[in-house]
């Protein structure tokens, strides 16, 4: 979002998702992700690669 110059609130309005949902995704506090939500975010941000909005990390240390 920062690279696109929009706020979480603006993205929530663009996607019809709750601002809390956007915040949880942005702050990596969600334990599961809804594919439809991710697709809405990707479309709003005009990105085609999921890696542009989500970073997958191993929980193993």
What is the pLDDT at residue 2?
64
| pLDDT tens column, 22-49 | 999 888 898 888 999 999 999 999 999 9
Each domain of the chain, given as residue ranges in start order, spans 2-52
Answer yes or no: CATH 1.10.260.40 is held by domain 2-52: yes
Band of pLDDT at residue 12, cut at 50, 70 and 90: very high
Relative orientation angle of helices 35-45 and 19-26, to the nearest 10 degrees: 90
What is the pLDDT at residue 51?
86
CB 24 within 8 A of CB 37: no
Residue predicted with more confidence, 1 or 25:
25
Sole residue written with tokens 């942005």: 26
What is the pLDDT at residue 46?
93
What is the pLDDT at residue 52?
84
């Amino acid at each position: 979002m920062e690279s696109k110059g929009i706020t979480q609130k603006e993205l929530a309005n663009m996607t019809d998702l709750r601002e809390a949902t956007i915040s949880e995704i942005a702050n990596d506090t969600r334990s599961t992700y809804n594919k439809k939500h991710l697709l809405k975010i990707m479309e709003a941000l005009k990105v085609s690669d999921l890696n542009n909005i989500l970073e997958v990390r191993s929980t193993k240390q």
